[in-house]
Amino acid sequence: MIALRTAERALALPRGRLLAAVLAAAATAGAAFALAAVSAYLVTRAWTMPPVLDLTVAVVAVRALGVSRAVLRWLDRMLAHDVALRGVVSLRATLYTALASRRDDALTRLRRGDLLTRLGDDAQELGDHVVSAIVPALVAAVMAVVAVVTIAPISPLGAAAMLLGQLVAALLAPAAAHRAARVREEAVVEGRAGVGTSLLEILDDATSLRLEGRLEDSLTGLAASQRRQDRALDRAALPSALATAAVPLAIALTVLGSLIAAGAAWSAGAATAGQIGVLVLLPLSAFEAATALPAAAAQHARSRSAAARLEAAAGERWDAARPEPSRTAERAITAPLRAQGLTAGWSAGAPVVRDLDLDLPAGSRLAVLGPSGSGKTTLLLTLAGLLDPLAGTVDAAGQDPRQQVTAFPEDSHVFATTLRENLRVVRGDLADKEALSALGAVGLAAWVGTLPAGLDTLLGPDGTTVSGGERRRLLLARAVVRRGPVLLLDEPTEHLDAARGDALLRALLTPGDESLVPATSTVVVVTHRESAIPPGTPVLRIEELR
């Protein structure tokens, strides 16, 4: 619950807009409620065959309420989604700021599929929390009071039946729905993350998995994860069905009580025919707002789980993080990179590097060599401060390496947005001229010339609309425009033909006017292409550090 409250604060919902959304939704439900009441009065009053003019107001009211209900429904949907989308924008900005400010390696230790699930699906769940939980719950509370107050002057017994029915709908149905959602979340969300992670791993490494003969096993594991998720859905179906049946049960109880109250009122001559019609028929529409409560309770459970997962990724009190203006102009120009007694690895029992002493002056170059799986990427993440050292220290200009070091992993994400914005993720103030220059420097000028909208061309999710070589050079262009004091590059020339890849590698490792990055930047490059390393470039062989 604390995590959900933190997430709600991070949504920073505008109170005025939220109130307007609730009032519009309440007005929509109120119009439907009034339409049912006036219609019930009109039908039963007409049965007594009064002068037709006695029914004129009721007839006009029915028409007005029928039209206004549709208009109000459109208005409340617009207002509710407006406030929800504004909240999601605020939440994601705060979330990314909190993630960027973390000083431990908890985020790095999350699998990529799990991280994408949290940043995507879980953040969206909090937006749905506004539309599907907060607003419906407040509207249901308002309409429950309106229904009881409307019937009380006609029959206290009928009002008591209405109150009982509203309590059943407001308490039992949401409780059952919440329980069903918790069961579903505990089993299904974990399965969803497993399915997403396995799927991404297969899509990213399908070729290597096939060559290593592990593709069939990976597909079998994916199918098993999907079956576990399906079984979890089946287990949650029964309590969900019970929650769905609770509201009709509440309506049935209220209708029965209203019939008893109507019979007593008619026998005592305490109500007119029109009032009896309202008393008997109104319960059928008085629960329209309450029918949304089971779904609201289920959404509340999903939102709690989503908020807990976001808190685990972003840290406690992550809502206190606030986006800050870009400080590109204040970024350091140079910085040395040092490691003393560094032991790196994902677990203490399996270090990939032991007792490494490294002293790279500002502007120096270093090539890291080693076979696949030897730990080159792990070393790079540790030097960048993204993975905590098992022993020893890492610093850049005497500071936390996160302040000065920029790492570009080989699987960096390509966003489903324009080419320009895919470069601006590393520099928000990037001008088009600089972007085109960087793309040309990595050999993408001809490719950009073929794009239908140039820098405004939309790229598919995670680079699905570009080739492997184009993707890798796009990621390299990010490093070029970043121009940071320390740059760590993981296999920047993979998937390129030998001549082009070797030329780019030499341009990265040779300081000078023809270098891809400033001569003042400290550059560490992980590569397999030993033959392309310029003479005199220091080389670190990872297998010698075990």
Do 2-320 and 337-545 fold alike per CATH? no
Tokens of 129: 């929390």
Structure confidence at residue 326 (pLDDT) = 44
**Structure confidence at residue 186 as a pLDDT band (50, 70, 90):** low
Work out the average pLDDT over 37-50.
81
**Structure confidence at residue 546 as a pLDDT band (50, 70, 90):** low
Residues 7-37: b if buried by 16+ CB within 10 A, e if exposed: bbbbbebeeebbebbbbbbbbbbbbbbbbbb
Cβ contacts of 249 within 8 Å, gap of 6 or more: 168
**Structure confidence at residue 185 as a pLDDT band (50, 70, 90):** low
Measuring CA to CA, which residue among 379, 489, 383, 378 is closest to residue 442? 489
Which amino acid, 111? R
Region 2-320: CATH code: 1.20.1560.10
Estimate to the nearest angstrom the gap between the alpha carbon of 512 and the chain centroid: 43
Out of 206-215, 308-317, 368-377, 437-446, the most confident range is: 437-446
Structure confidence at residue 217 (pLDDT) = 82
Work out the average pLDDT over 247-258.
86
Residue whose token pair is 């009053």? 45
Which region among 79-88, 96-105, 283-292, 497-506 has the lowest average model confidence (pLDDT)? Answer: 96-105
498 or 52, greater pLDDT: 498
Work out the average pLDDT over 254-274.
82
Residues 127-149: b if buried by 16+ CB within 10 A, e if exposed: bebbbbbbbbbbbbbbbbebbbe
Q: Which residues pair with 394 in a beta bridge?
A: 339
Structure confidence at residue 464 (pLDDT) = 74
Out of 308-322, 331-345, 393-407, 422-436, the most confident range is: 422-436
**What is the C-alpha separation between 278 and 152, in angstroms, rounded?**
12
Give Dmax (Cα) for the chain.
Answer: 108
**What is the C-alpha separation between 113 and 120, in angstroms, rounded?**
10
Tokens of 486: 């320390």
Which region among 273-287, 371-385, 409-423, 470-484 has the lowest average model confidence (pLDDT)? Answer: 273-287
Work out the average pLDDT over 128-151.
90
Structure confidence at residue 105 (pLDDT) = 80
Structure confidence at residue 366 (pLDDT) = 93
- Say if residue 339's pLDDT is above 60: yes
Structure confidence at residue 325 (pLDDT) = 47
Region 337-545: CATH code: 3.40.50.300
Q: Where in the chain are the domains?
A: 2-320, 337-545
Average pLDDT, the chain: 84
**Structure confidence at residue 513 as a pLDDT band (50, 70, 90):** low
- Say if residue 330's pLDDT is above 70: no
pTM: 0.67
Structure confidence at residue 487 (pLDDT) = 92
- Say if residue 431's pLDDT is above 80: yes
**Structure confidence at residue 75 as a pLDDT band (50, 70, 90):** very high
